[in-house]
Amino acid sequence: MTKTLKINKSTEQGVLEFLKFLLESDKVNGVFILKKINGDEAVAYSLVANPEDLKDAVPFYPLMPVNAGKLLSRFTLKGSTKKPVVAVVKPCELRGFVELIKREQGNLENLFIISSTCGGVYPTKMSVDRTIEKNLSKYWDAVKRGESPSDLRDACRACEEFIPYMADITVDLIGKSDIDKQCTMFLNTKRGEELAKDMKGEFSEKELDRKKLDEICERRGVEKKKLFDEIDAKMKGMEGLINIFGRCIGCHGCMRVCPICYCKLCEFESPNSEYAPSDYESELGKRGAIRVPPGTIYYQLGRMTHIGISCVACGSCDDVCPVDIPISIIFKRVGESVQKLFKYVPGKDVEEKIPLITFEKEEFTEVEE
Amino acid sequence: MEKDKEFMPRILAFLCNWCSYAGADLAGTSRIKYPSSILPIRVMCSSRVDPLFVIRAYLNGADGVLIAGCHPGDCHYDKGNYYTRRRFAMLKKIMGEVGLESDRLRLSWISASEGPRYAKTAIDFTEKIKKIGKNTAKNEIFL
């Protein structure tokens, strides 16, 4: 059983009350949270120290402007703050952050994490079109029923990892019909329990309603299969790859927003990936013609080997792709197959090693010849 | 004439300095015959082979890529080849998932004393690649 804290307010209000309490009682020095920009439909992750400034905070807004894992990594890269900070993030953002910590790109010291069961987010394009606000009531109705609106990110509709790992506090959100009236928080860790101490509310012990969550997971699994089948039908061999990735303009936006890609100098932007005139000549001699610059398939396959093992399928890459390549589903598809190979769930446990930097002496003998 | 038409694959072989390269050397000094299809590249350890090298070779039209290193437990750097094996398993999986011919990749353990084994690996792999045929990535323009 897990300790819980129940507050008789809407889930969002309850969490905001709680954050206010944490700031006012000096338990934390700051809150890392999604905040509306001047009441507009745009939101940005912000650090808030003044309880008053929480008024525009929208912890569960269905939008992920940037994967917060990447932001928390930048926040903690050079060490931790002296006083604790609490961050409210989505499960895949937390998983991305954990994967970055494993790559020594951040740490959890003096950082409390609040996350929730997640209903998914809309593509950022909808914040540009200003169509999120009018969809909000539809979104929350669907979340209460544990369903996914069809215009969510593909990666979200196909997401089966919507229960956070490694969160100090988990907010019960999806498939819960009374989120307008009640706020239930699960205090998963000792740290989480200490945080909630002295907060006004009802403390008890409970478990997440696994049965209901399993049903949601099953529904999303069906959606996932549909999306995977679509991709599989297209992604057949070199011809399929060229058909899918041929329209890539090489902006490398997918790499820049990816919470796993962190290299300061990316191999694909380094001189290693530049073609000299003599390289073009040799390519021409061999092929008769060559795309300029070459390297689209190389970049995509290369990135699969680099991040496939840790892809948390947040869908940020889809959001930024200017030519609408369904990158997130492709990477989720390939990533999951690799993760399954190593029985690895990225972002599940910060102590677990990335499979490629560890080994067992007796394994994979089937790949040797 | 007939002989010219026969397809001779071009196979890129990454050989580890301490075992497989010495094994290839031994095959040579022992005058064991093996096909000229192999283009060896010496690396200090099989784990030096970045999956990107293999992908680049494949896209540039290599008909096969062989990675060879010390037998498990014999790595000069203690455990490099274990990492190689994991990376290789991952790469093979990824290539298979996107529908590329992962059969064109091979991982073998060949020690410094195994000249005949090196020759046999070269012969077997060449035969296998001959059966699979040419790598058509060589002709692709929009890579």
pLDDT tens for each residue of A293-329: 999 999 999 999 999 999 999 999 999 999 999 999 9
| Residue type (1 letter), A191 | R
CA distance A66 to chain B (A): 27
Flag whether B3 is in a domain.
no
> What was the pLDDT predicted at B3?
54
Domain ranges, ordered by start, for chain A: 2-209, 223-367
Q: What 3-state class would DSSP assign to B135?
A: coil
CB nearest B136 (choices: A238, A294, A341): A238
Flag whether B45 is in a domain.
yes
DSSP secondary structure code for residue B70 in this structure? P
Q: Are A23 and A49 in contact (CB under 8 A)?
A: yes
Flag whether B102 is in a domain.
yes
For the segment A257-264, the average pLDDT, to the nearest whole number, is 94
> What was the pLDDT predicted at B1?
47
Q: Are A119 and A143 in contact (CB under 8 A)?
A: yes
3-state helix, strand, coil in chain B (%, to 5): 50, 15, 35
Q: Residue A115: which H helix or E strand, with range?
A: strand A111-116
Q: pLDDT by residue (tens digit) across B105-130? A: 999 999 999 999 999 999 999 999 99
A287 to B140: CB separation less than 8 angstroms, yes or no? yes
Contacts of A279 in chain B (CB under 8 A): none
Identify the contact set of chain A against chain B, taking CB-CB distances under 8 A. Answer: 235-238, 240-242, 246, 267, 286-291, 294-298, 301-302, 304-305, 308-309, 333-334, 337-338, 341-342, 355-357, 359-361, 363-364, 367-369
For the segment A207-214, the average pLDDT, to the nearest whole number, is 92
In 10 A of CB A92, how many CB atoms? 31
CATH of the domain at B116: 3.40.50
Write the ipTM.
Answer: 0.93
pLDDT cut 70: percent of chain A above it: 100
pLDDT-based confidence at residue A42 (cuts at 50, 70, 90):
confident
Separation between Cα atoms, residue A80 and residue B100, nearest integer Å: 45
- How does the average pLDDT of chain B come out, rounded? 94
Query: Is the pTM of the predicted complex or chain greater than 0.90?
Result: yes
CA distance B49 to chain A (A): 13
Q: Are A151 and A121 in contact (CB under 8 A)?
A: no
In 10 A of CB B95, how many CB atoms? 23
pLDDT-based confidence at residue A187 (cuts at 50, 70, 90):
very high
> What was the pLDDT predicted at B4?
57
Q: pLDDT by residue (tens digit) across A64-99? A: 999 999 999 999 999 999 999 999 999 999 999 999
Query: How many domains are contained in chain B?
Result: 1
| Residue type (1 letter), A352 | E
With CA atoms as reference, report the closest residue to A72 among A57, A49, A50, A94. A94
Q: Are B94 and A334 in contact (CB under 8 A)?
A: yes
pLDDT cut 90: percent of chain B above it: 92
Flag whether B143 is in a domain.
no
- How does the average pLDDT of chain A come out, rounded? 94
Q: Are B91 and B105 in contact (CB under 8 A)?
A: yes
